[in-house]
Structure 1
Amino acid sequence: MSSNIIDAIDQAIADTTVSLDAMRSVPGDADGIRVVVIPADEDEPITLRYLARDENGSTLRAMQATVGGYVDVVRTAEGVDVWINDEGLLMGLPFNERATAFVHAVKWALATCEWSGAVSLSLRDAMEEALVAQRYTRLVGPAIISGCNDEGETVSVPDVAVEFLQKMGLM
């Protein structure tokens, strides 16, 4: 990583305004979801946020407001999704080095069996995905890390993902 992203990570750690314990005390997923927001601007801190559900029970509008447009999902591991602006490349949004690093690190952790979450990939498949991610995955604009349940619904970010971000030194 470049020295400016390391400086940004240090600043993000110093500027984090909501603790993990505080986020665990928010209402359950029925009312909204806990997410991690990773701004593309390295000067902005990575934060834990609560996205409330709308009158239809959806967090889509809150997610769209956070990324600044339509959303698209990048599946990283079983139960962990990264949401980005679907038109971010077309809009010329800035490269999000920290979100991209998270995606690559999760793929690598799956490949090396260091991911403490549920692992659904064989070692060979995980290694292949990690190499493809390193070569082609470059996320732009703000990113949201959330969870995903067995039915494919977006739910609160799992603790394992937050802990992984902390181990990476991003939070």
Structure 2
Amino acid sequence: MVSGIYVPADADQPLEQREFATFDDLAAAVDGWTTTVDLLDLGVTIYVNEEGLLRHLPFNSRASFLWWYHVPRTRQQAMLVGNAVLVGLPGRDGKDTDLPDAVRELLLAPVAYGVEVCRGVDSKWHTSPVTYPDYWEAIIWAMVLLERLDDVEEVRVVPVDPEGAEQRTT
């Protein structure tokens, strides 16, 4: 049994923590044959429907932006469609593992985040004045800033500490 997070393609639907007892449970969650993408820095595998593009399944903004943020070479190259499932990277035996607790907390906790940008002009990090209600919203806006502002070379998402303590990068 593997624990993970079900990410519906409909961004208005909530994320769900789920247990997947068998591979068939994963396949059912994504409505068919599966394919995976790995987010090595997070220790995460994302399952999506292998035929999603052929079947014209809806764009999964949360899964796609998570992938684009953590795997920069995929930006402007591909997108994830249909429902998705996040689990841990395969173990030494090749079997899926539980989603890491730190990732579960990152993706589900109601923590405010900000976006910092590194501009080519001075190579310093600048904090955007906008605060986002969760990690998902922050990574979407981080990607928008990176795409739309010509002088932004890099972005990072940081939790906002309401007490004014130093922020940490994620």
- TM-score tier by shorter-chain length is 0.5 to 0.7
CA distance in 2, matches of 1:160, 1:77: 14
Aligned match of 2:64 in 67, 78, 100?
100
Pairwise CA distance, 1:36: 0.5
> For residue 156 of structure 1, what is the aligned residue in structure 2?
98
Fraction of identical pairs, as percent: 32
Q: Which residues in structure 2 correspond to 1:28-39 (within 5 Å)?
A: 32-39=1-8
Which sections of structure 2, spanning at least 5 residues, go unmatched? 112-133, 138-170
TM-score in terms of structure 2 length: 0.60
Aligned match of 2:88 in 140, 143, 147?
147
Runs of 4+ in 1 over 3 A off after TM superposition: none
After superposition, the Cα gap between the structure-2 partners of 1:36 and 1:63, relative to the gap in structure 1 and judged at 3 Å, is: same
Pairwise CA distance, 1:170: 3.6
> For residue 76 of structure 2, what is the aligned residue in structure 1?
135
The aligned amino acid for 2:26 is M
The aligned amino acid for 1:136 is Q
Pick the structure with more helix per residue: 1
RMSD: 1.9
> For residue 169 of structure 1, what is the aligned residue in structure 2?
135
Pairwise CA distance, 1:162: 1.6
Number of equivalenced pairs: 111
TM-score in terms of structure 1 length: 0.59
Listed one character per residue, the Cα deviations across residues 16-38 of structure 1 (whole Å, up to 9, x for unaligned) are: xxxxxxxxxxxxxxxx1111111
- Residues 98 and 170 in structure 1, CA contact (< 8 A), matched pair in contact too: yes
1:67 to 2:36 alignment? no
Pairwise CA distance, 1:46: 0.9
After superposition, the Cα gap between the structure-2 partners of 1:150 and 1:160, relative to the gap in structure 1 and judged at 3 Å, is: farther
CA distance in 1, matches of 2:97, 2:75: 27
The higher relative CO (CA closer than 8 Å, separation ≥ 6) is in 1
Which sections of structure 1, spanning at least 5 residues, go unmatched? 1-31, 53-58, 108-129
SS in 2 for 1:65: helix
Listed one character per residue, the Cα deviations across residues 85-138 of structure 1 (whole Å, up to 9, x for unaligned) are: 00000000000001111112223xxxxxxxxxxxxxxxxxxxxxx1x2111131
CA distance in 2, matches of 1:136, 1:163: 29
Pick the structure with more strand per residue: 2
